[in-house]
Amino acid sequence: MPLGERGGWERSESRYCGVETDFSDDVPSLLSFNISTGGFDYVLAPLMNPSYRPSLMEGKGSETQVLPVSGSDLVLAPSQWSSHVVGKVSSWIDLDSEDEVLRMDSETTLKQEIAWATHLSLQACLLPTPKGTSCANYARCVNQILQGLTTLQLWLRVPLVKSDDATSEGLTDSWELWNSFRLLCEHDSKLSVALDVMSTLPSETSLGRWMGESVRAAIISTDSFLTNARGYPCLSKRHQKLIAGFFDHAAQVVVSGKPVHNLPKASDSNTEGTQRHPLRSYLDYVAYLFQKMEPLPEQERIELGYRDFLQAPLQPLMDNLEAQTYETFERDSTKYIQYQRAVAKALVDRVPDEKASELITVLMVVGAGRGPLVRASLQAAEETNRKLKVYAVEKNPNAVVTLHNLVKLEGWEGIVTIISCDMRFWNASEKADILVSELLGSFGDNELSPECLDGAQRFLKPDGISIPSSYTSFIQPVTATKLYNDVKAHKDLAHFETPYVVKLHSVAKLAPSQSVFTFTHPNFSTKANNQRYKKLHFNLPSDAGSALVHGFAGYFDSVLYKDVHLGIEPTTATPNMFSWFPIFFPLRKPVEVHPGSPLEVHFWRCCGSSKVWYEWSVSSPTPTPMHNTNGRSYWVGL
């Protein structure tokens, strides 16, 4: 039984809670006790008797020996094995031991246990934590196994620790252990991490790194729980926040350990008089945490399917948009409210009250689409009692059909003139007071707004107003294991040199975003040039620990007019707006960054005769190759 069905969550978004058990050669009873009686969804159980050592079997007629597994595959139905059992590889194995017998035994056992788990069609297997800081041989063997797996996922058990004291004994930052292991395993998407959540947690910024990693499970020991006033287990506020974060990132929870709370006697047995599971109160608390999470807002629910899904950016200049695309953008009422506010302010500034009845303002909507900006502008004129003459310029002949119908339907014939032409090549009969456009992409200028508006500003009066008047792009370094693996799955260079529009979710933002390129309109400078270059330095917070940068999240912020702005940069984002998801610039080779050692990044916007493209690279702490040289993989056509 999942942790409760919740309003605002898809069934596929349900979360499950497992329980870690000891070895048992009676798996049906183990399942009956923990799942039927206990209420857990699955068991995390050893598949092999912990006393088994291959070297002890040698010379004892090894060909007739049977592996001491937890029982025949026939004791459960295949669906029970796959949905109710996560295998646990023997915790004694040490593949990097100096003791050769132990090392060889460990290698053999690991391969036998994974082979058995594959035979049972298990969904996942938990690998024990590497014993020391060196794990090269362990990782090598796991990598060999990964090459042959199709559906089985491997979870590497890693304690969630980070000491701020570099001189302390033992493991100071478990992220380093996970990172070296997954790099040795070539960032394989079938290798994930299961975090052992301790009673003491590292700093908030240090925990944040894990949200961009492929964390599949959080294993909470019973001694990490506190006791509430009624004697029941509960978690600290910080633990609660962490678990909610894991729920939000599709990680499961596993309860581990012996009961450490002396519960009131009445709760020892349930209503039927059967013995209550000793860990039931811990499960109940985890379920309570899940059920008290805020339901997802409606817009977030609509966008669930887009989370961490890579999409190629639109090419609206080269391609004509389809009706469905227009439909999506037109539903974004927040955006058009902002445009209406900007036009209203510009009209009031342009025409004083005493001349409102006689002066007619010429307003041109360039890239009018199916008319939402025409409507917003006319509503602004009505609201401010200003007179308007509108030219709606649109290059897509299909959208022009809709525009003509709209003008007829609304009775705008005397006010709105439709021009079916590319704004860059139209010869206007008169000059405009106000030029309105919505040509912005996720990175501001990535849908060629600068080039379009430079071409259109020739029919703007010298003192005319452009809405938007300026826009700036921003980037920030991110850990994004899922996005990186999805790009890597294409097995080619071109996908690593393409920026993607993506609803970022399983991403760790490693440093605040910084501005990259700014464009201002109108730009009457005789030396106008839309090529740009920017060098940026990012510093990780000192308490964060090291992190792996898979690429850069990109955003924009634009000033429509004076104090009316529109944007998706996280610190200033316009609320309830969904027309733009962020953009993601991948790195071919992820870069490991340490606190105190800045990340130096370079971004170029390059212009050719028929295309515009970006190039990017990292020069420090380790140089990466230049990405997308000459726009060889990705460009926007003029």
**Catalytic (active-site) positions:** 438, 447
Phi, psi of 509 (to 5 degrees): -85, 120
Q: Which residue has the tokens 């678990």?
A: 243
Distance CA 491, CA 151 (A): 20
Residue 501 pairs in a beta bridge with 311, 583
Nearby residues of 215 by Cβ (< 8 Å), 6 or more positions away: 192, 193, 194, 195, 246, 249, 251
410 is in an annotated binding site: no
Q: What token pair was written down for 346?
A: 């510009």
Give the torsion through C-alpha atoms of 567, 572, 576, 580, to 10 deg. Answer: 30
- DSSP three-state, residue 117: helix
Distance CA 115, CA 340 (A): 64
Distance CA 211, CA 80 (A): 30
395 is in an annotated binding site: no
Report the relative pairing of strands 547-561 and 514-520 from DSSP bridges: unpaired
Distance CA 246, CA 201 (A): 14
326 is in an annotated binding site: yes
Residue 160 pairs in a beta bridge with none
Residue 616 pairs in a beta bridge with 603, 627
How buried is 139 (Cβ within 10 angstroms: 0-12 exposed, 13-18 middle, 19+ buried)? buried
422 is in an annotated binding site: yes
Among 12, 13, 14, CA closest to 4: 14
For residue 605, the number of C-alpha atoms closer than 13 Å in the C-beta half-sphere is: 20
> Which runs of E-coded beta strand occur in 21-164?
42-46, 85-88, 124-127, 153-159
Whether cis (ω within 30° of 0) applies to the bond prior to 2 is no
Residue 416 pairs in a beta bridge with 390
Query: With contact defined as beta carbons under 8 Å apart, do 357 and 377 qualify?
Result: no
Q: What token pair was written down for 433?
A: 């007071």
Which strand (E) or helix (H) includes residue 324?
A: helix 323-330
431 is in an annotated binding site: no
> H/E/C letters for each residue in 597-618?
CCEEEEEEEEECCCEEEEEEEE
204 is in an annotated binding site: no
Q: What token pair was written down for 49?
A: 């008797």
- Gyration radius of the chain over CA positions: 30
- DSSP three-state, residue 50: coil
Among 452, 428, 422, CA closest to 438: 452
Phi, psi of 253 (to 5 degrees): -115, 140
Query: With contact defined as beta carbons under 8 Å apart, do 359 and 343 qualify?
Result: no
Distance CA 198, CA 219 (A): 9
How buried is 420 (Cβ within 10 angstroms: 0-12 exposed, 13-18 middle, 19+ buried)? middle
- Which amino acid belongs to residue 48? M
DSSP state of 442: T
Q: Which residues are annotated as a binding site for S-adenosyl-L-methionine?
A: 326, 335-336, 394, 422-423
